[in-house]
Homo-oligomer: A and B are copies of this chain.
Amino acid sequence: MISSKCNCDRCQHEVCARRVPIFSTLSIEELQKVVNLIYRRSYIKGELIVIEGSNLDSLIIINSGQVKAYRDTQDGKEQILYVFSEGDFFGEKNLIINQAATYNVEALEETNICAIRKEDFQKLLTEHPSIGLKIMEELCNRLDRLEKTIEGMGSKDVEARLGMVLLEFARKHGKESGEGILVELPLSREGIASYIGLTRETVSRKMTLLQNQGIIEMVGNKKVLIKNIKLLEQTVQ
């Protein structure tokens, strides 16, 4: 059975559950149980998956596509907190500490999600403590990232912040090519700006700067070729 070529609901579910790190410790039988709990949704680009302040009652796992999690600040801007893609999950906060969603989540492209309802998820958690451990791992990783972000924002080196984001995207969707790593940017300049707390103009300026230094090369508006990743890493650290 080549599940990746089967498009029935069942198999898609299984694929989804398999792909997700938090279920990686489960046996095939356990996985099957999880699959039965999952329901699916699809969203087109720009569609809101979660609205800040609403009661989200499911854990949501990204099957394919990408989303941004953001907040609207009081001065009307949006602050992007996370860019999630395949295998990432969100909504855990609403399940665990029982609070309304603290940010909006919007599809950046066509996105398919798998979701598990709160009750099902909590049952799962008590039956399989290993899932809890995986969740904790991921939460810790997220804390790690946020801590680094804060450190970066504190030490006011703007170029370093931009470099960090480029490296993050490169890790996620970078493709090795002859002259370097080609990265498809999930966010526009404005999005990047909101992600690292700058204005789009400054992001523009800094990008051209990095380009003039020979570190990157912009390919259209949505791609970047990282020509010298070592130099970029130095800029960051």
| A residues in contact (CB < 8 Å) with B | 71, 73-75, 77, 79, 81, 92-93, 96-97, 102-103, 125-126, 129, 132-133, 135-137, 139-144, 146-147, 149-151, 153-157, 194, 196-197, 237
Contact = CB atoms under 8 A, between A and B. Distances in A.
Indicate how many identical chains form the complex: 2
A133 B96 contact: yes
B155 A153 contact: no
Given A74-B155, A155-B73, A155-B74, A140 B197 contact: no
Contacts of A73: 151, 154-155
Contacts of A154: 73, 79, 153, 194, 196-197
Give the one of A79, A103, A141, A196 with max B CB within 10 A: A79
A77 B151 CA distance: 10
B81 A150 contact: yes
Given A153-B153, A153-B197, A136 B135 contact: yes
A79 B148 CA distance: 10
